[in-house]
Amino acid sequence: MAFEPPPRLVRALGETAPAGDDWLAQLPVSAERAVARRELTVERVQVPGGRSSLVVLVRRADGSPAVLKLAPPRARPESERAALAHWGGLGAVQLLEADAEDGALLLERLHPDVSVRSLPEAKALLEAAGTLRRLWVEPPAGHAFESVAERTGRQAAAMRAGAEADAEVAPLVDAALAAREELLAAPPEHRLLHGTFRQSKVLAGERMPWLAVGPDPVVGECAFDLARLVRDRVEDLIAAPAGAATTRRRIKRLAESLEVDQERLRGWTLFRAVESGVRARRVGREKDAELLLEFASWL
C-alpha cells in the first residue's frame, strides 16, 4: 500500500520544517517498515488526518483494530508516549505498545470521524471539559516533560520578533507577554496537561464515550490547558453579533465548572490566542490570523 501523506499534513509540516528536513519524503518507507515490524494489516490512511502526524487505521495480528501513528521528532512523539502511558487510558486513548525503536505509536482504535465537535456547542464544551479534568494528574516522578514556562518562553521570543516586524499586532503582543509574566510568577499547581486540547481532540470510543487523543504534553497549571478550549469554534464566535459577550460567558462557565481561577484563564486565553495569531500570520495564514487576533482583542 502507498502511504501518501494527506495534503493537510504536508501543508502543516511544510510551515515548520527546518531546512533539509526529509521526514515527509521518507514517510512512505518508514510507514511500510513500521507496519511490517508489527505484522499489521492496513485498512486506510485517515484523511484529512492531523497536522503533525500520519494516522493509519490498522488491524493487529489477532484481528483487533488499532491505530498506527507516525510523527516527526519535532512533534515530540516520545513525550506523547510517556503521557499516554502515565494516563493509562483514563481520559485518553490507550497506548498498546510500551516502547518502539522506530518511535511510532500503536494506539487503541477510536471512532476517528466522531469528535465532540459534532455535538451542539453547549454539550460539546461540557463533554470536552469533563474529559480534560480526568487528564489533570500529578506528573510522574523524574519526568522529562516540558514546562509551561519553557514552552511559552520559546513562543514569547517568536511573538516579540513578530511584533517588531508588524506594528499592528504590537499592542496585543505586549498585553499577552505581560499576562504571561504575571501568570508565571505564582502558578497555583503543577499538573500533567494535554497541551493542545480542543474539541476535535476528543473522539468517541467503545471503552469510554469520549477519550482525548493527540497530546503535546506539558507540565503546569490547569488554566493553561483550558485556555485553548475557550476559543473553540472561533469562526462562529467572530461571526456572531454577541461574540465578545459569549466569549466572556464561556470563560466564566468553564472556569467555574473546572474550578479554575477566571482571571488566570482569561490571561492564558489571551496569550495563547495572540501566539497562535502571530504564528498564523508569520506562515501566511492571514485569514486565521485575523480571526485569532480579533478574538484576542475581546479579552
Enumerate residues 6+ apart whose C-beta is below 8 A from 81: 95, 99, 100, 105
Q: Going by DSSP bridges, is the β-strand pair 218-220/191-193 parallel, antiparallel, or unpaired?
A: antiparallel
- 61-64-65-71 Cα dihedral, nearest 10 degrees: -50
- 162 pLDDT higher than 90: no
Looking at residue 199, its pLDDT comes to 95
* pLDDT cut 90: percent of the chain above it: 83
Q: Which residues pair with 80 in a beta bridge?
A: none
Query: Of 141 and 4, which is predicted with more confidence?
Result: 141
Cell numbers found for residue 116: 465532540
Report the mean per-residue pLDDT for the chain.
Answer: 94
Identify the band that residue 1 occupies on the pLDDT scale cut at 50, 70 and 90. Answer: low
Distance CA 144, CA 146 (A): 7
Question: Domains in the chain and their CATH numbers?
Answer: 7-109 (3.30.200.20), 115-297 (3.90.1200.10)
What does the radius of gyration of the chain's CA atoms come to, in whole angstroms?
19
227-286 tens-digit pLDDT: 999 999 999 999 999 999 999 999 999 999 999 999 999 999 999 999 999 999 998 999
167-226 tens-digit pLDDT: 889 999 999 999 999 999 999 999 999 999 999 999 999 999 999 999 999 999 999 999
Identify the band that residue 125 occupies on the pLDDT scale cut at 50, 70 and 90. Answer: very high
95-109 tens-digit pLDDT: 999 888 888 999 999
- 2 pLDDT higher than 70: no
